[in-house]
Amino acid sequence: MQRVAAGEADAVAECIRGYGGLVWSIAKRYISDPIEIEDAVQEVFISLWQSAQRFDPAKAAESTFVAMIARRRLIDRVRRGSSRPDETPVELGEGGFDFADPTHGSERLEAGVDLKKAAAAVAELKPAEQQVIRLAIVEGRSHGEIAEATGMPLGTVKTNVRRGLQRVRDRLRAGVGAARA
């Protein structure tokens, strides 16, 4: 990354060769269309080239920096792009699904019910746990970034994330939120 930041011509090609597989595998987690994955990977490498001067080997390994940039760009792309799920509300008929399109509606309804259950479980967490989980999952921030944003010690952030996610998992297994969904 330091060589990329310095503008060395060979450094960009080496970066692509060295981290192309990593970026591609991360992109496949967020995007299913192979053509869109190719576009996303290109965007990630452009972003890496533009952000290379921010890399600090004292803070993280180069692969961690690459993965972080990739993940952020891909989350941004999914949020703004065609990979975003349809957010149109489902009109429910009798029996709990859209009679005009029962397959499509029932899939969307099932996802909506799962989201409502998860939201209900998160709503029952302690405020600090809710905050760090929102920052980690919704905003895609790292533990270090959360600590910086909240003023919490890094260890506290990690503990709150771990405990919060465990409580959500336990509540979902126990069926919390089923009556509210």
The tens digit of pLDDT for each residue in 95-108 reads: 433 333 434 444 44
pLDDT band at 153; cut points 50, 70, 90: very high
For residue 179, is pLDDT > 80?
Answer: no
Task: Give the pLDDT confidence of 40-92 residue by residue, as tens digits.
Answer: 888 898 888 888 888 888 888 888 889 999 998 898 888 876 444 444 443 33
Contacts of 151 (CB under 8 A, 6+ apart): none
Q: How many CB atoms lie within 10 A of CB 14?
A: 12
pLDDT at residue 32, as a whole number: 85
Domains of the chain: 2-80 (1.10.1740.10), 106-174 (1.10.10.10)
The 8-class DSSP code of residue 134 comes to I
Which candidate, 119, 144, 148, places its Cα nearest to that of 134? 119
Give me the half-sphere count of Cα atoms (radius 13 Å) on the Cβ side of residue 82: 7
For residue 36, is pLDDT > 60?
Answer: yes
pTM: 0.44
Widest CA span in the chain: 64
Residue 124, amino acid: E
